[in-house]
Amino acid sequence: MTTVDQIDFKNKKAIIRVDFNVPLNEENRVTDPTRILAAKPTIDAVLAQGGSCILMSHLGRPKGITPGLSLGHIVKTVEEILGVSVLFAQDSIGESAQALAAQLKPGEVLLLENLRFHEEETKGDSTFAKELANLADIYINDAFGTAHRAHASTTIIAQFFPDRKVVGKLLEQEIEAIDKVLQTGEKPVLAILGGSKVSSKITIIENILDKIDHLIIGGGMAYTFVKAKGGSVGNSICEDDYLDFTLELMEKAKAKNVQIHLPVDVIATTDFSNDSERKTMDINEIPNGWEGLDAGHKSLENFKQVVLEAKTILWNGPLGVFEFSNFANGTIELGTFIAESTAKGAFSLVGGGDSVAAVKQFGFDHKVSYVSTGGGAMLESLEGKTLPGIAALKE
Ligand code: AMP
């Protein structure tokens, strides 16, 4: 793949697929600019070389033109972050976009209106992709968050730039981080999987089993394993349809010399709420009427050893119901262990949905090696799938 640093952008217009799908509050202000900040290095590199940038993104899931989801709302924030003024095209294609793109001078930035105001975007329509392509000389994909979608701006457009399609710096970092865990990671390699269900992580577990040395299973997922091994999990979340699968998985892991670490004790409660009665108990002996919502101290001591010895760590999914402060301790402690291991030299990647929310909420995002910006894209990468957005840059 061609990288940003291999291209001369002088007097060239680069159309960059960014992921500016940021949260807005009721006043249409950006509440978390992480994704805009993440795209800055690529944009800065193009501008510094005397190129200009045409930024395109989606925002939310509009059905047709939806004023509340206009990218016009984020122009000010983008300007503040980039430190340059940003032109805005009221439509991503058509005369307004063409006129503004044609007049764009080196060092200038143009933001196009929400791509998904046209249904052709998600349909992967090639006429729409060509219209976008006609606006620029070079295509850069820097939107990891949508790299698992074969949309017009993420995948189809690349064919119109056979020798001028470029992987953005953020996308490159994301690919590198996944490779560091699954391909080139220093041993011992540890994966920590938590969250609510085994069923949603089956393909991930199957894919990573050949690549890891240790697997910590936590959160709601653990109870299906515990029950499959003969334990009593009371009212804890458990997928009875997957008991056989987890038994087979434990056999496979044994054959591949992967050590599986399950919690041994849990903090259980009688009601799925923050303030209900809490008791620490053996994970194999949870009585009916009680459900485990967090890892207990003994489990955390065991996990700590494994995390501190690991040289490569992947974390996906919380160890408990971290949204309830009384059941967040396991997830917070795990974050502390990973931070400590990272400070000692381990490479740590946090990716996929709720674990990213947890590391941010508890302030570990700067204490791990890399926090992925893509939920679904990260999960599909961990499943071993080739993401269409990345494949299109290689073809
Ligand atoms: P996932 O999207 O599969 O990563 O799951 C994340 C969700 O799992 C979070 O909202 C947690 O509250 C939930 N979770 C974690 N541990 C448990 C548990 N022991 N019981 C029920 N839900 C849990």
What is the distance in A from the centroid of ligand 1 to the CA of 318?
6
Tens of pLDDT, residues 303-315 = 999 999 999 999 9
Write down all domains in the chain, each with its CATH number in brackets.
Answer: 2-167 (3.40.50.1260), 175-382 (3.40.50.1260)
What is the distance in A from the centroid of ligand 1 to the CA of 323?
9
**Active-site annotation holds for 17:** no
Contacts of 253 (CB under 8 A, 6+ apart): 209, 215, 259, 260
Q: Which atom of ligand 1 is nearest to the CA of 317?
A: 4
Contacts of 45 (CB under 8 A, 6+ apart): 4, 5, 9, 169
Cβ neighbours around 381 below 10 Å, total: 28
Q: Which atom of ligand 1 is nearest to the CA of 293?
A: 19
Contacts of 275 (CB under 8 A, 6+ apart): 326
Q: Which atom of ligand 1 is nearest to the CA of 194?
A: 4
Ligand 1, residues at Cβ distance < 6 Å? 195-197, 200, 219-220, 237, 292-293, 317-318, 320-321, 323, 353-354
Q: Which atom of ligand 1 is nearest to the CA of 316?
A: 4
Which one of the listed residues 130, 164, 197, 298 is annotated catalytic?
Answer: 197
pLDDT tens for the 395 residues of the chain, in order: 999 999 999 999 999 999 999 999 999 999 999 999 999 999 999 999 999 999 999 999 999 999 999 999 999 999 999 999 999 999 999 999 999 999 999 999 999 999 999 999 999 999 999 999 999 999 999 999 999 999 999 999 999 999 999 999 999 999 999 999 999 999 999 999 999 999 999 999 999 999 999 999 999 999 999 999 999 999 999 999 999 999 999 999 999 999 999 999 999 999 999 999 999 999 999 999 999 999 999 999 999 999 999 999 999 999 999 999 999 999 999 999 999 999 999 999 999 778 888 898 999 999 999 999 888 999 999 999 999 999 999 98
Tens of pLDDT, residues 14-40 = 999 999 999 999 999 999 999 999 999
The closest of 326, 318, 303 to 358, measured between CA atoms, is 318
Tens of pLDDT, residues 48-94 = 999 999 999 999 999 999 999 999 999 999 999 999 999 999 999 99
**Whole-structure pTM value:** 0.92
**Active-site annotation holds for 376:** yes
**Active-site annotation holds for 12:** no
Instruction: Tell me the one-letter amino acid at 20.
Output: F
**Active-site annotation holds for 292:** no
Which one of the listed residues 353, 374, 375, 389 is annotated catalytic?
Answer: 353
